[in-house]
Structure formats: structure tokens, C-alpha cells
Chains A and B, each alone.
Chain A
Amino acid sequence: MRPIHYLRCFFGIAMREWLRFLNQRGRFFSALVRPLVWLAIFATGFHFVLGVSIIPPYETYVPYSVYIAPGLIAMILMFNGMLSSLSMVYDREMGSMRILMVSPLPRWFLLTAKLLAGVIVSVLQAYAFLAIALIWEIEPPWFGYLAVLPALILSGLMLGALGLLLSSAIRQLENFASVMNFVIFPMFFASSALYPLWHVKEASLLLYDICEINPFTHAVELIRFALYGQLEPVSAVVLVAATAIFLTLAVYGYDPAKGLMARRAAE
């Protein structure tokens, strides 16, 4: 196998993801509409509730809509990561995954390529959201738009890797509802996406600890700081570690000889 084969394979997978994205316009719009609904309705309803203290990276009081914007960007990345994983389940049911899996390239590469292809689509959607969010005066400094790119990629990788891991365990399409219930909602609400963690700490120390170890919190914070040109080192380290763990487990899960695929075949 020479590098050109790897490259060709990656482009193949990325193109497929891109075509899927283009053909499913509904998916594109729903991925955008979801956070915009939060911004337009939820943030308006709650805007008098917060805005009482200044926390880094903000240097002054910010409206609630500005506070939740990074959390909503992370929400886009999470839904995309999960949907991308859902497509793996679909591929498996429809048989197109077999075509991918018989490739002579190593499995870890195929999965990583799939992951990267999903992240590219996620990042584009995140920027589309940031562009529309200007209407609500969510205006980070210009350098924030550049600095947020690595944060978006890293967060996208982590959430996509989690999606891959879940997809290796999900048997059927219908199970996505459970993913919503048991993964997406708890991760989203037990994070700093909607409220600053010091607020959570005042109410429940246990919940605060849960929020602190939730990798989604770190995705939100990395994006939040990056939007203002700052690096949150702890979050970056947590995200790198979480991505490595999730991806390793996913590769293991997709290994027909070991992992969950083997068990499924045996059933």
C-alpha cells in the first residue's frame, strides 16, 4: 500500500460524505435550524436570567445569547457526529459497509477517514451558524473566527469518535432514539453549554463534578475561549485524550475478530 492509495481512499470516503450531505438538504437545514431555534427562542426567554457575572474569556457582561453560542456550535458538532455514526448503522444494514470493509487498507485508517470526512462537514455547518448568528449580534473578534477552527476540528473529532464508538454498538437504526436519550441530552445538559458551571456548583456539587468530567463541557469551553483568541489548555488535553480513547475503542469495536461485531456475528 502506497500513500496514494490511502489518499485515494480518503477522498472516496470524503466524497461520499459530501454527496450524502448535499443530497440530504433537510439534514443540513435541520442541523442549522436546531441551534437557531435555541438562539432565537430559548435565549430570548432566558436573557434576563443570566448576565450577572463576568467569567473568562469574557471581559464584560454578555447577553445570554452570546453565552450559549459556543454551546450551540458544539451541539451542531455533536448532532453531526451522531448522525454520521447513524449512517454507519445504515451502511451496515444496507450492505455498503461491506464494500468499505473489504478494502485492503487498515481498518483504523478507514474509520479515521470516515471520521475526518464527517468533521469537515460539521465545521462547514458551524461556520454557517456563526454567519447567521451575526443577526443576534454574536460578534466575536475577527481573529476568533480563525482561532476557533482548530477547536472546531478537535471537538468534531472527539464527538465523531464517540459516534463511531456508539455505532459499533448499535444494532439498528431505531436505536438512535436511545442515543438521543442516553447520550446527546445528558451530555448537552450536564455541560457548560447553557449555564456557567459556577451556577451549577451553587446548586449541586455532584452535578458540577459530572459537568467537569463531561468531555462535551471541554468541547464547549475550548470553542468559547478560541472564539476570543484564547487557548484553554485543560480542555484541549481532555479532548485529545477523549478522542484517542473513543477512537481506539471504536477500532476495536469494528474488528470482526474481536469486539462487538464478532459477538453480533455469533448471535
Chain B
Amino acid sequence: MPNGLIAAVAIAFLCTARITAADTIYVSNEKDNTVTVVDGKTLEPVKTIPVGQRPRGILLSKDAKSLYICASDSDHIEVLDLVSDKISRTLPSGADPEYSALDPSGKLLYVANEDDNLVTVVDIDRGEVVTEIPVGVEPEGMGISPDGKYLVNTSETTNMAHVIDTATRRVIANILVDSRPRRAVWTADAAQFWVSAEIGGSVSVVDAAKREIVKRITFAVPGVPTEAIQPVGIAITRDRKLAFVGLGPANRVAVVDAQSYEVLKYLLVGQRVWSLAFNPDQSRVYTTNGVSNDISVIDVASLKVIKSVPVGQAPWGVVSRP
């Protein structure tokens, strides 16, 4: 049996399978002060762009032409122009911006300032701070409802999810969750938001209307100590069938049935998995692995990790651009 022929057939097969997903992946590297660009088709890194100090949370603009980068140690937001791959301008953000959320209109950016216990509202076009909203200690997670009416911010030390009315810019509800909440992610139908708790090792599913926890999802990976299970990144499919949860130093992504809240599977990825992002058609999930310095690519249909791609030092945020 000619091995070469089989390999050729296999490569052809893989190529046809990959044509469907032609996106570009951007990864912020916290320690390198760079953004790595990965071709979604070949899954090879194609470019490294130098950016500000300690880039963490990244977001795609509404027109998908620029990338908003929280340059935590530069104390501002940088706007990366994705045509020229150069920083075109910076936005004020308050001190130590870690993570941000974009208003559905694409005009306002909500930034969590970890050191000042504030959420800063930034007008992108004017490049000005509109206002600051005081929240709990060490704010981090930012999730804006699909209609833009509510913003959920999590505070790492207060262990709360703060619901902010974006019209009045006031905290209207506080929900106590497990220890060190990291992310708040809304379901596409706006009925729920999910909050991951890194130390608590859980994900709380919150009913958005009642503002009550309806389910607390816990994880148990065979052979992995409980304290290594530290949920951070969450990605929920638009049809709310599946949710993916990155479990930090457990080096696994949990696949959760988003209707029954049962954990279906644990997928082995790189070390200290952090942020998760879908590609545009949601056929894949990308994960940043902060310790092994790579991203892993999960195929949503087969629920298998198909490849891990090396990027810069301490990859933190990831987005996929169509």
C-alpha cells in the first residue's frame, strides 16, 4: 500500500474540509506585547504585530475593520487597523483596562478598570470618556445584552455580577456568585447570562429577567485535582445548544449541553486555557492557552480538537474575523 498516495488523499481531504472556514484569527500575547495573526484556512501564524504594553482583552469593531485592544500597562485602548495592520489611534480607558464590551451600535465601549473598581464608558468616534460607573472590587468580566440595554460586569474580589442599566448607567442589581467571577456571557436569545467563577470552579447560569441563578454548573475531570479546575472563558452557540467553558490549568475545555446543563465531554487543549471565541459560522471554537503559548482549534461538529497552533508568549484574548 503506497503510504504517499494515502497521505496525498488525506491532505486533499483535509484541504477541502478547511475551505469552508476562511477566517482570520487575532490573538493578544500578554507577555510579548504583540498580536499574532493566524490564517483560519491553513491554521498557520502569518504575522506578528507589535502593540502596547500587556495586551489582554480584544474586540472586533462592528464593521470588522479594526480591533480594540486593552493595553493594560499602557493604560489605554489601542485601535488596530486591520487593513494596514498598524495601530491607527488610541482611546482613553482609565487605568489598567483588562476587558471590554462593545455596545451593539458599535459606538460605545465599556471598559473594566481592574485597579480602580470602575467601568469606564468610552465614545469611540469622539475618543472621549463619557462617564465612569463604580462597581465592585477588581472588575473584570463584561457582557452586554444583545439589545444593548444591560451590561453585566463581574468583580473578582466582591464575587458579584453587577447588572448595569446602560440608559441610566447605574447598577440596578447585584448577584452573588462563586469565588472570583471572570466572565459574563449572554445567550443570543437574551434570556440568560452565564458567569464563570475561577476559584469557585463553577459556572452560574443567571435568568436575565428574574436576575436569579437558575443553575450552578460544576466540573470534574477524571485525574485532575479539583483546585486545578478554574473556569474562565465561555462560548455559547447562537442556538443555545452547546456551551464551551475553558477550565484554566485543568487544560480542558468542557462541552456543556446548554439546555440540560449537563457536561457532555472534556476536550484536552493546551496549558491554562483562558479565552474562547467562535469563528463566524460557529463551526469552530478557538482557545488561548496561556502557559503553553498556543491556541487550540476545536471542531464543533465532531467535538474534537483538530490542531494547536503556536503563537506568542502568554496568549490571552482571541477573536475571529470573517
Contact = CB atoms under 8 A, between A and B. Distances in A.
B308 A143 contact: no
Given A47-B223, A231-B7, A62 B308 contact: no
Contacts of A182: none
A146 B268 contact: no
B10 interface: yes
Given A146-B1, A147-B1, A150-B1, A61 B6 contact: no
Contacts of B7: 147, 229-231
Interface string A159-197: 000000000000000000000000000000000000000
Nearest to B298: A60
A51 B308 contact: no
Interface residues of A, number: 23
Interface string A40-72: 000010011001111000011111000000000
Nearest to B225: A48
Contacts of B268: 51, 60-63
Contact of A59 (B251, B271, B307): B307
Nearest to B296: A60
B6 A54 contact: no
Interface string B292-322: 1010110000000111100000000000000
B6 A51 contact: no
Interface string B1-16: 1011011011001000
Contacts of A149: 1
B269 interface: yes
Contacts of A54: 294, 308
Interface in B164-214: none
B223 A150 contact: no
B270 interface: yes
Contacts of B220: none
B251 A229 contact: no
B307 to A, nearest CB: 4
7 contacts: A59-B306, A59-B308, A61-B270, A63-B268, A143-B13, A151-B3, A231-B3
Given A47-B223, A150-B1, 20 more contacts: A48-B223, A48-B224, A51-B268, A52-B292, A54-B294, A59-B306, A59-B308, A60-B296, A61-B268, A61-B270, A61-B296, A61-B305, A143-B9, A147-B1, A147-B3, A147-B6, A229-B3, A230-B7, A231-B3, A231-B7
